[in-house]
Homo-oligomer: A and B are copies of this chain.
Amino acid sequence: MIIIVTREKTKDGLNLPKRADLSDTFCPVGRSAELLGDRAVLLILRDLFFGRRRFEEIVANTGLGPQIVSARFKLLIEQVVVERHAYRERPPRYEYRLTAKGRDLFDVLYAMRNWAERWAYEEGETGGGPAMRYTHRACGADVGTSTVCPGCGEPLRYGDLKGEPSPALKAEQAAKSG
Contacts and interface: CB of A to CB of B under 8 A. Distances in A.
Interface of A: 2-10, 14, 16-22, 25-34, 36-43, 46, 62-65, 67-68, 71, 101, 104-105, 107-121, 125-126, 130-132, 147-148, 155, 165-166, 168-169, 172
A39 B26 contact: no
A107 B116 contact: no
A27 B67 contact: no
A42 B37 contact: yes
Nearest to A5: B9
A66 to B, nearest CB: 10
A8 B131 contact: no
Contact of A20 (B62, B119, B125, B132): B62
Contact of A43 (B20, B42, B116): B20
A33 B43 contact: yes
A149 B121 CA distance: 31
Contacts of A26: 125-126, 131, 165-166, 168-169, 172
A105 to B, nearest CB: 6
Given A20-B62, A33-B43, 14 more contacts: A6-B7, A7-B7, A14-B67, A20-B43, A20-B63, A26-B172, A27-B132, A28-B112, A31-B116, A32-B115, A32-B120, A33-B39, A107-B115, A108-B108
Given A37-B41, A68-B8, A118 B104 contact: yes
A74 B113 CA distance: 24
